[in-house]
Amino acid sequence: MPQSNTWIDANIYTLWLQLGIFITCTSIMMLFVSIYFTLKQRHNLIRKMNNPFPSSNNLQFH
């Protein structure tokens, strides 16, 4: 009887662990995607504004 109880506890624990890892990975990916799009938009803005140092910006963003 105690073996089955610990088995159920372990299953619930691994389930919550997998769920937490999944949520963490998803949020980190969303964060990276938002940062990437912000940098891309900023790069387009800088290119439209005709800034005096285009070569340094190309080095930064490629």
pTM recorded for the entire structure: 0.49
- Contact partners, residue 57, CB within 8 Å, separation at least 6: 43, 46, 47, 51
Model pLDDT, residue 54: 55
Instruction: For the chain, list residues with pLDDT below 50.
Output: 1, 62
Q: How far apart are CA 47 and CA 57, in angstroms?
A: 9
